[in-house]
A and B are shown apart, each in its own frame.
Chain A
Amino acid sequence: MNKHLRSVIALLGACATVCTTGLLATGAAGQAIPPPLVRTTVVIDSSLLRDNLDPAELERARQELAAYAAEKLPNPGFDYMRWLPAQLQPALPSVAELRVVIHQRSFSGIPRLILEYQAFLGGTQISLSSIAAQPIYDGPAPSVHSVDRLIADVKSLRLDKDLPNEDFRRRLGEEFLRNIPLSEKVIVEAGKPDIILPLEFDALHASDQSRLYVEFTAQPDTQPADTGIMRLRPIKKVRAGTFEGGVNCRVYMFEFKDVSVPEPGGDDPRVLVILAPPSVKSLRVFMEKFERRAGTLITTPGP
């Protein structure tokens, strides 16, 4: 074992009863970090539509279509993200944006309306290369005189086809959703093998067969900071204590310098030290593989 690392283990093991990474401000009792907020927006960039519809109607189309996409996106699948259209609670900070862009291409004077999905993470556009832009109508766009017609067509001809399609959702998941960090902190407790994620266990719906992917930078000794990765299995709800309601996880895999926990996981005291402050410098948690919790018993009595 690295000599510096060993000395730090001794040092921190002796003094810290509870160590956390990052700030604790939002990770306290009953205050798990809320699910990441993803905004849905619609951009209409078509002279055909601008010529036929007035600005208020175009704004209505933007809002209604953004709300429709936000309503359709959580299910089926990983429904932990909060999807909200841009116009709803605009003051809430969001981490990502899914933009539906309606633009126009003219061929031989025949205009075609194209629908394209664009993804933004922290304001930066990320590639959705596997989801191609598609025409809304098979042929030329009909003359659009009614905003209701436009809204109904975009819903039925594209959104209703794309959003429930398993292949589309897989691509959206791989290129976009999997890259949205669920948390930028984990909590480790001295002497306990579990790692706590300050997320809402009940809202996460993840079974213990799910995998969370964590990338981090740490500096547990005097050597320069280095990057590491780990995979976590969500095990159960944290029932009491400061992080009540959070997600108790077990290490499934860990890699940092010479510290390695191979799949399917295990305990290594060095892991906790590397993840504890002041060692950890930055950290981000992503959902890598999601499986929904299920069972034959209903464990809450209902209303």
Chain B
Amino acid sequence: MDGMSRESAALRRYRGAAGCLALLLFVAAPVCAQMQSIEKKENPLLTAKVREARGALDDQEFDRAFSAFQDVLALALRFGDRKWEADSYFYLGLTRQQQAEKLGKGPEAQAAIAESETFYKRALVLKPDSASTLNNIAQLYASSGREKEAQELLRRSMSLKDPRSGVSAQNYAALLDRTGDAKSASQYYAMVAASQPDNVEAHEKAVTAFIKADPKGLGAYLWDALRAGQVLRVQDSAVAALQQREWEAEQRRELLALVAASLSQQSYDPAKYRDTFAAENLATFAGDSVIGGGVVELTRLHGADALDPSAFRWWSEAGDLHVDPPRGVWPRDAFRSLIRSLGNWQQRRGDLRRAESFYRLAVGLNRREIDPLACLALADLYISQERVSDVDRLMNELVPELFYGKGEAYRSSQWQKIYDFHRALGLIYSYLKRWGDSGTPASAIFQLEHAMDAAARLKMRPEPRLVDSLATAYESNAQFERGSSLRLRYAEEFIQQKDYLNAQELLAPLAKLKAAGKLGPADIQRYERSLELMPPPQKK
């Protein structure tokens, strides 16, 4: 019985394998026919030979590839195919170039290089703007000590509008690095990394070149990469850079600020921070005289149950209170941003008590410079829980410091901070419906008006939320004309700047006011003129 079942099982397997073969043949036939029909559009002889030649080149069978590409060239000449004539020369050059790389540095390799150059030059005569050919000849020159000529060709290749020229830019950076100009190399690597966000090698080489030749430039590069969303790479590079050389105190602080800033743009469970690459590697700096305190406090932030501002003195004092940083943000602002981000993480997972603790910490980190963004986040959190009375209490508690901080920002002309303070105050007063007026600082109208002035100084387009809140504040005070006039003023500005979206947003409520008879004749005229200036799809 056993034997019989084994025999029949074997038979089944034979049948299965045979069936498989039959199926393969069955399927392959129409496909081959289809391939042939595609090839007929070109030249079947040429296509077959090209396929053979490329296959041989991929398999690094250089002599077979060379011979096959020679055949391709002969066919191209016979059929008068100029494209394949040029491409044959390119491939002949490539074949010899790759062969030379395998041969090392002996006379055979030199002969292959010389031959490769000849073929590439013929290709270039037929296709002078080939980024591929220019790049590859440059690599030939670079490998044989003709760096200047290589640089010239790579510059030409880079200037072409060819997606492949990114390879040339990276080769150019490598060549500069090799010839001792690491500072320029760092700039080109940075350029390649910025244009190819998934090019990890370019990023790593940029960082290495900056560390080697332009350490002070590293911070600027990493801040740019952070703005482009490379939060993990920046975090790891900043940590690795700290380990790779002795830095001046200011740069050490900046690199730690970059770590905090990149952590603030990630979404993670604070309890898992200890196991991260950053935490493990930063631990070695816990005793560092400049940043040791910051490293210890960073760990503390992620583990502490009680978030007392006095436990974070290193970060609260890091940076100048009275001027903006030369680039990026001051360490204490990066740290505040991280605290808010952790608060936001807790809020999203529903632990509102913990979220409140984080926002409170950010608010109170440095009472000489209160964090207006954290104040607003806290007010938003209270409103989301219908705790309007807590918003009221918050304002009573923090108003002196918010006004003091705003005053300090004015004294040192830090306009971004001035804007943040007015915006937070204006929106929180709006929550409390303390509309007030232009002469009452403790009111939504006063603060929002000043927020818009600050935005104008910063050459920022006024945030529609602010304009709308201010207009609503006027309208709530029955100052309909003032509200509509504000809407019209900014709508007209937006129309002038061809920002029809914002204009439309501001104009929309005026339709209701007009219908309710609350719009004066002059405003009706301005409103209708604004509508006429809007492009047809935006008209309502």
Q: Which residues of A contact B (CB under 8 A)?
A: 7-8, 11-12, 15-20, 23-25, 28-31, 75-77, 107-108, 110, 112, 130-134, 137-140, 142-143, 145-146, 148-149, 152, 164-168, 170-171, 222, 236-237, 239-240, 242, 244, 277-278, 291-292, 294-302
Q: Is B447 an interface residue (CB 8 A)?
A: no
* Contacts A107-B386, A134-B348, A171-B267; A28 near B28 (Cβ below 8 A): yes
Contact indicator B10/A294 (Cβ below 8 Å): no
Contact indicator A297/B136 (Cβ below 8 Å): yes
Contact indicator A296/B171 (Cβ below 8 Å): yes
Q: Which of A77, A132, A171 counts the most B-chain CB atoms under 10 A from its CB?
A: A132
B139's contact among A18, A30, A242, A297, by CB below 8 Å, is which? Answer: A297
Contact indicator A77/B9 (Cβ below 8 Å): no
A30 to B33, CA, bound (A): 11
Q: List which B333-371 residues lie within 8 A (CB) of chain A.
A: 345, 348-349
* Contacts A76-B198, A142-B464; A164 near B16 (Cβ below 8 A): no
A149 to B123, CA, bound (A): 52
Contact indicator B21/A28 (Cβ below 8 Å): no
Give chain B residues whose Cβ lies under 8 Å from the Cβ of A240. 51-52, 55
Contact indicator A149/B376 (Cβ below 8 Å): no
A277 to B266, CA, bound (A): 46
Give chain B residues whose Cβ lies under 8 Å from the Cβ of A137. 465
CB distance from A298 to the nearest CB of B (A): 4
Q: Is B125 an interface residue (CB 8 A)?
A: no
Contact indicator B265/A165 (Cβ below 8 Å): yes
A139 to B229, CA, bound (A): 23
B94's contact among A17, A29, A299, by CB below 8 Å, is which? Answer: A299
Give chain A residues whose Cβ lies under 8 Å from the Cβ of B55. 239-240
> In this complex, what residue of A is CB-closest to B373?
A138
* Contacts A148-B538, A164-B228; A297 near B31 (Cβ below 8 A): no
Pairs A–B under 8 Å by Cβ, sample size 15 = A11-B14, A24-B28, A29-B31, A75-B197, A139-B380, A142-B465, A145-B508, A145-B540, A148-B504, A240-B51, A240-B55, A291-B200, A292-B198, A296-B139, A302-B130
Contact indicator A242/B24 (Cβ below 8 Å): yes
Given A143-B508, A165-B265, 7 new contacts (CB under 8 A):
A132-B349, A139-B465, A148-B500, A171-B267, A244-B51, A296-B171, A302-B131
Q: Is B196 an interface residue (CB 8 A)?
A: yes
Contact indicator B127/A301 (Cβ below 8 Å): yes
Contact indicator A146/B13 (Cβ below 8 Å): no
Q: Is B12 an interface residue (CB 8 A)?
A: yes
> In this complex, what residue of A is CB-closest to B52?
A240
> In this complex, what residue of B is CB-closest to A145?
B508
Q: Mark B47-69, 1 if CB is under 8 A from A, else 0.
A: 00001101100110000000000
B383's contact among A28, A107, A134, by CB below 8 Å, is which? Answer: A107
Give chain B residues whose Cβ lies under 8 Å from the Cβ of A112. 384
Q: Mark B513-540, 1 if CB is under 8 A from A, else 0.
A: 0000000000000000000000000101
Give chain B residues whose Cβ lies under 8 Å from the Cβ of A8. 13
Give chain B residues whose Cβ lies under 8 Å from the Cβ of A239. 51, 54-55, 58-59
A149 to B197, CA, bound (A): 29
Contact indicator A166/B12 (Cβ below 8 Å): no
CB distance from A163 to the nearest CB of B (A): 8
* Contacts A242-B24, A301-B123, A301-B133; A149 near B348 (Cβ below 8 A): no
Contact indicator B538/A298 (Cβ below 8 Å): no
Q: Is B434 an interface residue (CB 8 A)?
A: no
A57 to B38, CA, bound (A): 44
Q: Is B474 an interface residue (CB 8 A)?
A: no
Contact indicator B31/A165 (Cβ below 8 Å): no
Give chain B residues whose Cβ lies under 8 Å from the Cβ of A25. 27
Q: Is B117 an interface residue (CB 8 A)?
A: no
Give chain A residues whose Cβ lies under 8 Å from the Cβ of B170. 296
Q: Is B427 an interface residue (CB 8 A)?
A: yes
Q: Which of B27, B164, B171, B345 counts the most A-chain CB atoms under 10 A from its CB?
A: B27
**Which one of B84-92, B107-115, B307-315, B401-409 contacts A?**
B84-92
Q: Is B231 an interface residue (CB 8 A)?
A: yes
Contact indicator A297/B20 (Cβ below 8 Å): no
CB distance from B103 to the nearest CB of A (A): 15
Contact indicator A132/B232 (Cβ below 8 Å): no
B233's contact among A15, A166, A294, by CB below 8 Å, is which? Answer: A166
Contact indicator B51/A15 (Cβ below 8 Å): no
> In this complex, what residue of B is CB-closest to A187?
B24
Contact indicator A18/B12 (Cβ below 8 Å): no
Contact indicator A222/B9 (Cβ below 8 Å): yes
> In this complex, what residue of A is CB-closest to B157?
A298
CB distance from A130 to the nearest CB of B (A): 7
Give chain B residues whose Cβ lies under 8 Å from the Cβ of A29. 28, 31-32, 35
Contact indicator B27/A295 (Cβ below 8 Å): no
CB distance from A248 to the nearest CB of B (A): 10
Contact indicator B265/A107 (Cβ below 8 Å): no
* Contacts A29-B32, A167-B231, A278-B12; A296 near B505 (Cβ below 8 A): no
CB distance from B61 to the nearest CB of A (A): 11
A114 to B162, CA, bound (A): 41
A16's contact among B21, B34, B384, B386, by CB below 8 Å, is which? Answer: B21
Contact indicator B232/A170 (Cβ below 8 Å): yes
